[in-house]
């Protein structure tokens, strides 16, 4: 029964994150252009301190994804200022920011110069920003149950994966 419930829940969440049909070329171009601007400038707004810039989360997600909206709420509840970009396709942003395809999830963020892919807990984000490792970012691949934004009747065990600009990966933390 647990597997049937899990399969049903995953299908429902995947459908919620699916992009609507229609022409998305304009949104793709806008996504890539916006991602390039954030990538070039980091997340620091003109005249802000490094400490303040670390609290700005620039998030790209599809407009129909409920779990992404819950993850944004998780960030806000943990003190982050969040700039949300609802786009039809997040893949151009992932490619621009160097997220390895095997680590993809449903949303992508940049905070303090690091990329955060998927349902990364705020505590992990804070650890990365505090430790300043020589990586491009971290990812929680897929949509593990029990991660921020994916709360449910049980919690999956999962790894937070670090990645660099060359596509090398390693386990940053297991939960």
Average pLDDT of span 15-43: 40
Q: Cα–Cα distance between 132 and 117 in angstroms, integer?
A: 17
Phi and psi angles of residue 21, each rounded to the nearest 5 degrees, phi first: -75, 160
Residue 35 has pLDDT above 80, yes or no: no
The number of domains in the chain is: 1
pLDDT of amino acid 16: 45
Residue 2 covered by a domain: no
Residue 150 covered by a domain: yes
Q: Cα–Cα distance between 168 and 28 in angstroms, integer?
A: 26
Residue 83 covered by a domain: yes
Residue 148 covered by a domain: yes
- The pLDDT confidence band at residue 17, using thresholds 50, 70 and 90, is low
For residues 61 and 110, the answer to whether their CB atoms sit within 8 Å is no
What's the pTM value of the predicted model, to 2 decimals?
Answer: 0.74
Residue 11 covered by a domain: no
pLDDT of amino acid 50: 44
Structural domain including 76 reads 17-174
Q: Cα–Cα distance between 165 and 175 in angstroms, integer?
A: 24
Residue 39 has pLDDT above 90, yes or no: no
Residue 59 has pLDDT above 50, yes or no: yes
């Amino acid at each position: 029964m647990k597997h049937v419930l899990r399969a049903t829940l995953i299908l429902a969440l995947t459908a919620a994150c699916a992009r609507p049909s229609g022409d998305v070329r304009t949104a793709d171009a806008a996504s890539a252009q916006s991602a390039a601007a954030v990538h070039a400038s980091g997340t620091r707004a003109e005249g802000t301190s490094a400490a303040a810039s670390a609290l700005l989360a620039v998030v790209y997600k599809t407009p129909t994804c409920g779990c992404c909206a819950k993850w944004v709420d998780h960030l806000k509840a943990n003190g982050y200022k969040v700039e949300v970009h609802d786009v039809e396709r997040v893949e151009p942003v992932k490619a621009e920011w160097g997220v390895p395809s095997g680590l993809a999830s449903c949303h992508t963020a940049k905070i303090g110069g690091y990329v955060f892919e998927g349902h990364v807990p705020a505590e992990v984000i804070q650890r990365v920003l505090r430790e300043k490792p020589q990586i491009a970012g971290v990812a929680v691949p897929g949509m593990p149950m029990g991660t921020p934004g994916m709360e449910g009747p049980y919690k999956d065990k999962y790894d937070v994966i670090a990645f660099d600009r060359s596509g090398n990966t390693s386990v940053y933390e297991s939960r």
